[in-house]
Structure 1
Amino acid sequence: MGEYEAQQWTVLNVGLWNGAITGARGRLLYRAILRSALDAGIRGGTAWVGIEGGHGRGAFRSVESEVASNELPVMLAFVDHASPIAGWLPELRTLVDAHGLVVSDEASVWLRMLGSGGRAGPPGIRASGAPQCPSRDASRDALGPAGDGTRGAPGGKDAGGEDVPSRGFGGRASPGDGAEQGLMVQVYTVEGRTLQGKPVYQAVAEFLRKRGVLWVSTTRGLTGFGEQRRVHEPQWLLRAHDAPVMVTALDRQDRLESHLPALVQFVGHEGLVVSRRVRWHHP
């Protein structure tokens, strides 16, 4: 890679059954969680709204319903080293409670090097010295069993007391299930940011499509923040350019991994590139 290197960070995903649910002080819960992450110094977080979904034993909402669409599920994703994530988890568990579930995973975050010493990342990444070296399972261990108040923790029990399957590193499937080793790459950026005269998300999607990557999709978020501590969100139609955007690519590990160095160089400072190994089934 030359001027870039990959560091192992933790990706924490929070799923809320109902995006309209309120938390402390009457604030929307997903906003309260984002504010909590900001206050805890978490490096980056984004909230994404679903098209439909809900609790497996409760209401199922769809964008097709004018009333229910106000209560669509919300997914939040946070990225940082394992230790800060682990330190924030107790407060996060209290906020989420029975309103959703929490899943942690590991991923490679691609950071730009500055000479032989020091590092700087693309927007949303704090320049720092040597990376922390926490236990790779620190945040997962902090999730703990459901008996200590955790809701929907991996390997524990969900809000209804039923078992939740454990999710290991990279979403490993059980042996002999026919799945193959794949790679998922996600590029986080902001809608109004440009690259070679195009929105970054369009340029990245075109870059991947030209290389024959099997799955490429773009998702627009509700709100999010990076290391600059500025919350990005569209306040009205004319400011839609400020919304967070994520491009997701998926293919066989050997195929997509061969394009990853060029993709990281291509994105540069205009986004954050996160990759993780997955077990997947494909056509």
Structure 2
Amino acid sequence: MIPSDAARLSLHVNASRRWRGKPTYRAVVEAARSLELAGASVFLVDLSFGAERTLRDALSEYASLDIPVVVEVVDGPGRIDALLRELDSMAPGGLAVVEPVRVVAYSHHANAGGPRRAAAPPATQRGIPSMSLDGKARRVTVYIGNADTWNGRNLAAAIVLRCRELGLAGATASLGVMGFGRHSIIHRASFLGLSSDVPEKVEIVDRPERIAEVLPVLEEMVDGGLIVVQDVRVVKHAHHPAPG
């Protein structure tokens, strides 16, 4: 089990980097699995630059695989430290960031029944758009698989739509390319566009009280996955100006 006071490692590397004949990001995922960590997910990045100051664009450089990826791992601080020791030789380049998170839910699939209905927040809060964010806020990250569903719909999409219905400030879904979860089975996408339950995550940012209201909804919707929360500070939250 993951302790409630956990840590998240985000490792930024290039997909072209290799370790003992395999992509470094894959070696990191396999190392996390061999250390029996709770799970790991790999996500593509569209555009980035790092210490070498080279601009890398996923769209223009996909054929060469010299594109940025982020490996995210959540577990207890001590177990994350054990993985970091492995990374000293595996990933001498790149950027590794560790941040504290609080685990809200961690479960494997158990509900194989029919349609389910998410718990509703207090009636006074339903559908009320969140006010402009400023200062203290919270970010929820939901780690699931893209094969997960909610009442016949992709679960990540269902979560985003549900957050919109409830008037939260915003939610973003991201599709991964490789990872493993509670069952320790590694899933990865192929270049043919086929996938085998690759990881997916949804990130939600809002005021602490709004996040507290939506957590029961998320826990009801996520039958198998990981939900973590962390405190953040919002420095800007604004709408795009109307054209014209």
TM band (smaller chain):
0.7 to 0.9
1:196 corresponds to which of 145, 151, 158: 151
Aligned position for 1:256: 211
Q: How does 1:147-226 map to 2 (within 5 A)?
A: 180-226=135-181
Aligned position for 1:107: 101
Aligned: 1:29 with 2:24: yes
Matched residue SS, 2:90: helix
Q: Deviations over 1:115-135 (max 9, x none)?
A: xxxxxx4129xxxxxxxxxxx
Q: Is the 8 A contact 2:187 2:196 kept in 1?
A: no
Aligned: 1:14 with 2:11: yes
Matches of 2:155 and 2:196 in 1, distance apart? 11
Matches of 1:237 and 1:191 in 2, distance apart? 17
1:265 corresponds to which of 214, 220, 234: 220
Higher helix share: 1
* Larger deviation, residues 41-50 vs 6-15: 6-15
Q: Aligned-pair distance for 1:273?
A: 1.2
RMSD of aligned alpha carbons:
2.2
Q: Aligned-pair distance for 1:8?
A: 1.3
Aligned position for 1:245: 200
Amino acid at match of 2:4: Q
Aligned: 1:278 with 2:232: yes
Matches of 1:74 and 1:95 in 2, distance apart? 15
Change over 3 Å in CA distance of 1:22–1:244 after alignment to 2: same
Q: Is the 8 A contact 2:16 2:65 kept in 1?
A: yes
Aligned position for 1:73: 68
Q: Deviations over 1:208-260 (max 9, x none)?
A: 11111112111010100112110111236463352211111111222222222
Matched residue SS, 1:182: strand
Change over 3 Å in CA distance of 1:236–1:70 after alignment to 2: closer
Q: Deviations over 1:90-123 (max 9, x none)?
A: 11222111x2011111111123xxxxxxxxx412
Matches of 1:64 and 1:226 in 2, distance apart? 28
Amino acid at match of 1:83: G
Matches of 1:179 and 1:208 in 2, distance apart? 19
Matches of 2:101 and 2:146 in 1, distance apart? 23
Q: Deviations over 1:146-197 (max 9, x none)?
A: xxxxxxxxxxxxxxxxxxxxxxxxxxxxxxxx95111111111111111111
Q: Which runs of 5+ in 2 are unaligned?
A: 110-132, 239-244
Matches of 2:186 and 2:59 in 1, distance apart? 29
1:63 corresponds to which of 58, 61, 67: 58
Matches of 1:88 and 1:202 in 2, distance apart? 32
Amino acid at match of 2:198: A
Aligned: 1:123 with 2:119: no
Change over 3 Å in CA distance of 1:69–1:182 after alignment to 2: farther
Change over 3 Å in CA distance of 1:266–1:180 after alignment to 2: same
Change over 3 Å in CA distance of 1:206–1:71 after alignment to 2: same
Matched residue SS, 2:91: helix
Matches of 1:180 and 1:68 in 2, distance apart? 41
Corresponding residue pairs, total: 212
Matches of 2:64 and 2:169 in 1, distance apart? 31
Aligned: 1:228 with 2:183: yes
